Structure 1
Amino acid sequence: MDNQMSNVTISVILPAYNAEETVVPALESICSQSFDAFECLVIDDGSEDATAARARSVTDERVRVLSRPRKGLVAALNFGLQQARGTFIARMDADDLCAPERFARQLALLRSDETLAAVGCGVRLFPDKNVAGGMRHYIDWLNGLLSPEQIANNIFVEMPLLHPSMMLRVQAMRDVGGYRVGEFPEDYELLLRLHGAGWCFAKVPEVLFYWREHEHKLSRTHSAYSPAAFRRVKAKYLSQIVLAQRPEFYFWGVGRDGKKFARELQQRGYLPERFIDIDPKKIGSSYLGIPIISPEELPGSVPLILACVGSRGARAQIRDFLLKRGLVEGQDFLFLA
């Protein structure tokens, strides 16, 4: 055991709370990895059921169960990061599954490009009967973002890598301070900090992670994962990373989502030179004291364009319009949500 544990490349951080029904299958999928130089840290966060006992029943010397009083997910993640002996962190939740090649494929991708702080992989939801249309749309969008460029261009739309499917460089995580506690999604906030520090992200295209869908997910029950919390953290890092250097911009979208995002930016001291919308009832009026123009009224030379539209298919139409004008996504325009 000592020799094997001294050769740890990957530290799996698996926080668990009251997961007695699912933790064993999750661990079995980890222990079945084709790449075997890893340790798996099960952080039992004060479970009130048999989670710890079930986890210890998995007879694999690479699995360490660390039980502690309940302090919450972020504290459990940071405790795992402190305990990690590997050069890379693989995230995993206690109710999900991964394919045998996940670690090998993700590690190879990380090692192939030193600019990558984290990589994901293709994701599939299960069981199918629990999956609603909105989640299918999100997974389709998520699985379509593979390259560093695609992910960077969409990083202010939504979390572009699924957290429990990620593998990250330990040093990159420690350099930016690990996970932070607050009224925001801790995974997205970490990714945005890494993005602001100049790191890139990518994905293995194959489906190697299976994400269990159920109504009790923390992302559905905690205010830190509310739409407003996501919008605040996006606006914060958009302001710090982009607008601090490029404060002049146009803002496309004066619908419900666009107005909410624009107000977040206003609170941070940023207002566009013009709003853009296609609704004839809005064109010619104003919002937040700023004139609303049509897309056709865009001048030949424009500053950065931020587009925040909620209608299905609208993003693709805006992208097509702006590309035909010779603008470059990620440089001349960015999408928000």
Structure 2
Amino acid sequence: MERGGRGLVPALSVNPSIPTMPACTVSVIMPIHAYTPFLEKSLESTLACLHTGMEMVLVDERMDSLCRPLVNEALAHPGVRLVKAMGEGLVNGLLTGLAAARGAYLARMDADDMCLGDRFSLQQHYLDRHPEVGLVSCKVRYGGDSTKYPGFARFVTEVNDLDTHEKMVQKRYADAVVIHPSVMFRRELVQLGSYRERNAAGQAVPEDFDLWLRWMNQGVRFAKLEECLLVWNDWEGRLSRSHPAYAKRAFREAAAEAFVPPAGKPVWICGYGRTVERRLAPFRRRGLKPAGYLALAPERREDQLPVITPAEAGQLRGKALLLVMVGNLRGKRWIQQFLDTESFVEGSDYLWMV
């Protein structure tokens, strides 16, 4: 199967922790730990999208007492079950939910987000009609203060713009290409790999970004519905703001582990300086040997690697892969404009890296 993915990997072994005979169509997995001001609306909106043959698996991650009344109210719904997490932390909660789920399709939902429209039915119908697709997401509405947190608001916009599998594959090393609580996927995918807290080298990794990379590298095809079916609430208590697994260095470790240099093409680095070397370090530790650097000004290096300027970059087009490791927003915009002007093709001539 080609890396980057043209369809589902056909040969899947049986994982005994995931039942092979689904008892329902869709299982929605929602771990709950601490009370949030969005919990009530999150539960209500999710229940409103549940139909006959669907279930919601609530995972008790040592939830605090404030959650209990709302959870008990949700449990009055015949399609809702509560299971105790097998261990501490979100990943253990997710693994518990996966093991308990009975659906042919598995959907994610967070306790601080809101479902919109008829989300689960639309995603289920899409997977029913497109057997070549393994995971389907949707457009997402930013539920935060875009003035106070412009970076997170921009992230949602950028993810929404990745509306085809090809666009997602091209940007897969730069950031998460789908927002985690917006996804629904086939239960068979768990046999290709599941959530984990740490990679093979023992470093903390973002459980979703890490999983999407591993699935895409095994040929899983992603899709994104045009409908906006989730409100992604951004607030101070969100894990993505505070947990070390979501620090930039954790994303870089996941990307470096998943990256495989193209056969027959040298890898060059777009960017220069200490920040770029810090981004490059996890790749070097895994054996990546850059052939050279593309920088704004020529530099002399102790390792004698060549450093060329944009005026000379044309020699790389079609003959090398550029890893763009510039993080500055203004610099990223300039580089994108330059690459477009010089007819570099994303995915084959260059890749954006986290």
TM-score of the pair, normalised by structure 2: 0.84
1:336 partner amino acid: M
CA contact (8 A) 1:43 1:67 kept: yes
Q: For 1:283-317, what per-residue CA distance to the aligned partner results, in whole angstroms no more than 9, with x for missing partners?
A: 13237642211122132652222212223254454
> What pairs with 1:254-265 in structure 2 (closer than 5 Å)?
254-255=272-273, 257-265=275-283
Q: Distance in 2 between matches of 1:20 and 1:135?
A: 19
CA contact (8 A) 1:44 1:51 kept: no
- Alignment partner, residue 3 of structure 1: none
- Describe the shift of the 1:287–1:310 C-alpha distance in structure 2 as closer, same or farther (beyond 3 A): farther
Give the % identical residues: 30
- Describe the shift of the 1:129–1:272 C-alpha distance in structure 2 as closer, same or farther (beyond 3 A): closer
Please report the RMSD computed on the Cα atoms of aligned residues, expressed in angstroms.
2.4
Q: What is the deviation of 1:331?
A: 2.0
Q: What is the deviation of 1:247?
A: 6.3
SS at match of 1:302: coil
Q: Return the match for 1:217 from 232, 238, 253.
A: 238
SS at match of 1:254: coil
SS at match of 1:150: helix
| 1:149 counterpart = 2:183 | no
Higher relative contact order (CA 8 A, sep 6+): 2
- Alignment partner, residue 94 of structure 1: 111
2:284 partner amino acid: Q
**Which is further off, 325-334 or 117-126?**
325-334
Q: Where in structure 1 do 4 or more consecutive aligned residues deviate above 6 Å?
A: none
> What pairs with 1:71-150 in structure 2 (closer than 5 Å)?
71-128=88-145, 132-150=149-167
SS at match of 2:58: strand
> What pairs with 1:11-30 in structure 2 (closer than 5 Å)?
11-19=27-35, 21-30=37-46
Q: Distance in 1 between matches of 2:264 and 2:255?
A: 16
CA contact (8 A) 1:117 1:194 kept: no
Q: What is the deviation of 1:134?
A: 1.0
| 1:202 counterpart = 2:219 | no
> What pairs with 1:1-337 in structure 2 (closer than 5 Å)?
8-19=24-35, 21-33=37-49, 35-58=51-74, 59-68=76-85, 71-128=88-145, 132-172=149-189, 174-182=190-198, 183-238=204-259, 242-243=260-261, 245=263, 248-255=266-273, 257-278=275-296, 280=297, 283-286=298-301, 289-298=304-313, 299=315, 302-312=319-329, 314-337=331-354
Q: What is the deviation of 1:221?
A: 1.8
CA contact (8 A) 1:29 1:100 kept: no
1:270 partner amino acid: L
Which residues of structure 2 form unaligned runs of 5+?
Answer: 1-21, 199-203
1:13 partner amino acid: I
Q: What is the deviation of 1:263?
A: 2.0
Q: What is the deviation of 1:323?
A: 4.6
CA contact (8 A) 1:26 1:97 kept: yes
Q: What is the deviation of 1:32?
A: 1.1
Which residues of structure 1 form unaligned runs of 5+?
Answer: 1-5
SS at match of 1:116: coil
**Which is further off, 315-324 or 116-125?**
315-324
1:209 partner amino acid: L
- Describe the shift of the 1:287–1:131 C-alpha distance in structure 2 as closer, same or farther (beyond 3 A): farther
Aligned length: 325
Q: What is the deviation of 1:324?
A: 4.8
TM-score of the pair, normalised by structure 1: 0.88
SS at match of 1:157: coil
CA contact (8 A) 2:85 2:96 kept: no
CA contact (8 A) 2:146 2:153 kept: no
1:111 partner amino acid: D
**Which is further off, 128-137 or 92-101?**
128-137
Q: Distance in 1 between matches of 2:345 and 2:169?
A: 13
CA contact (8 A) 1:8 1:37 kept: yes
**Which is further off, 219-228 or 298-307?**
298-307
SS at match of 1:329: coil
CA contact (8 A) 1:277 1:293 kept: yes
Q: What is the deviation of 1:246?
A: 5.3
Q: What is the deviation of 1:265?
A: 1.5
